[in-house]
Amino acid sequence: MMNVTIKYRVWLAGLFLSSMLGTNVATASELSAEVWKDPNCGCCNEWVQHLEEVGIQVRTSNTGNTGIRERLGIAKQFGSCHTARIGGYAIEGHVPAADIKRLLKEKPEAIGLAVPGMPIGSPGMDGPLYGDRKDPYDVLLIHVDGSTSVYQAYR
């Protein structure tokens, strides 16, 4: 009987500690991404590298992204050259990793984030080819109803 009581107490302590840690530690699924892109797109590869540099594990599907964009609920006007799924959210285009990590921390009720088009200066569109040029752009939060708001502005 005593052995069962000790095991129960150890189990409870473990449950308590894991619940305390769980509020501040990202799960493995949040730090992994599936990316759909064109196999020949250099900027998509650069964006994938940007994610990997901050510790996000990436699996790529070189099948294009039009179909998956639609399935994930991202309207065509928010489209770009690649689409990702990270931590249950859709990520469209050249969204900075810092904004993705913020999204995963805040966990808003939303479809995800989008950077429509391919703005120069955004991650993946910021290599030596573009020099020091940086176009202003917005990272949009796509709400469940399809509306958007500016999540982060880059000027």
Q: Which residues contact 150 (CB under 8 A, 6 or more apart)?
A: 138, 139, 140, 141
pLDDT tens-place string over residues 53-62 = 999 999 999 9
Distance in angstroms (rounded) separating the CA atoms of residues 16 and 58: 32
Q: What is the pLDDT of residue 20?
A: 40
Whether 107 shows a pLDDT value over 80: the answer reads yes
Look at the pTM and tell me if it is higher than 0.85: no
Cβ–Cβ under 8 Å, residues 99 and 51: no
